[in-house]
Amino acid sequence: MRYRVFFQIEIVHPYFSTAAADLIILPDAQTTLFLSKQRFLIRRTINGIKILRAINENDEKLTAIEVENVFVFNIFPTSENVREFTDTSMVETGKMLLFSNEGLSKGNVELMKSKTFQEGKYQNFPAIARVEIKGGEIISQSNGSPHLYKALFQSRAIKWKYYFVSNSKTTDLAIATRDQQLKFTQLEIKEDFSDKIVQSLTLNFQDTKIIVFESNIDIPYSKTPIKNINLKQNGLILINHLPNPEVQDNGIQIIKI
């Protein structure tokens, strides 16, 4: 018996430069049973999953798809960090993202996004999203080629702050980047400056100067670092590559200069 790709689901997450690591997509129990009975095969891919359909020697499909058929998959994180860098601000507690091909126009591969009640666990990690591929939509969107669908996540974005602790009366500092859209502005620290980190640094590093720079835009979390963020003093490079804040640092870097 031969098989041909029926449809394929790719997980796309801008945090990752290539494959969406730390995320796995699995069919639910009912879909697994249906696919097995109808002689479909399930295959994992580097970015998701694909469903193979049995065909005979004349390339004729051996299984029929009905309008009412719904293929349901759940997307699970495989590490705690995924929820830290994934934007789920549009989903309230107890719910999760829902991706669906319902209402998808021909040629559009990005699944429609909404939300649904949270359910399902994999290795003690609750599902982060569900994917519903509806048979009626597959039939109406069919053009003879295998269907490719993409479940597109968004990265969390946050303003970055650099806190510099200096033992000298450092002046004329600036942060320069190659990205013209990304700029860092020095914040003016006054007596009423209500920044708990500044207050803590002032208590722990007495007789030092605290200088704070903040990005002008929210920067999406990404595994690919932003390079060539320079700290300059009097126009000369003091630090060639400022480190990017880690996911768990909430956009904050503290550096002694």
What's the CA dihedral at 175, 176, 180, 184 to 10 degrees?
0
Q: Which tokens is 167 given?
A: 């033992």
Closest by Cα among 220, 118, 215 to 162: 215
Mean pLDDT value across residues 106-117: 91
Query: Residues 248, 172: one domain?
Result: yes
Cα–Cα distance for residue pair 8/142, rounded to 1 Å: 14
pTM, full prediction: 0.84
Decide if pLDDT at 64 tops 80. Answer: no
Decide if pLDDT at 113 tops 80. Answer: yes
Query: Residues 168, 242: one domain?
Result: yes
162 close to 184: Cβ distance less than 8 angstroms: yes
Query: Residues 116, 144: one domain?
Result: yes
Please name the amino acid found at residue 33.
Answer: L
Query: Residues 205, 98: one domain?
Result: no
Query: Residues 88, 215: one domain?
Result: no
What does DSSP say about strands 230-233 and 184-186: parallel, antiparallel, or unpaired?
unpaired
Q: List pLDDT tens digits, range 33-42.
A: 999 999 899 9
SS (H, E, C) 112-132: EEEEEECCCEECCEECCEEEE
Q: How many CA atoms are closer than 13 Å to the CA of 87, on its beta-carbon side?
A: 16
Query: Residues 229, 216: one domain?
Result: yes
Query: Residues 121, 50: one domain?
Result: yes
Query: Residues 137, 243: one domain?
Result: no
pLDDT above 90 covers what percent of the chain?
A: 63
Residues 6+ apart with CB under 8 A from 236: none
Q: Which of 152, 182, 201 is the last residue of a domain?
A: 152
Q: Which of 128, 152, 176 is the last residue of a domain?
A: 152
Query: Residues 91, 135: one domain?
Result: yes
Q: List pLDDT tens digits, range 126-173.
A: 999 999 999 988 887 776 678 899 999 999 999 999 999 988 777 789
Residues 6+ apart with CB under 8 A from 14: 153, 154, 155, 220, 222
The pLDDT of residue 43: 95
Enclosing domain of residue 218: 157-256
Residue carrying the six token digits 């040629």:
107
Query: Residues 105, 192: one domain?
Result: no
pLDDT above 70 covers what percent of the chain?
A: 97
The structural domain count of the chain equals: 2
Query: Residues 102, 59: one domain?
Result: yes
CA 166 to chain centroid: 36
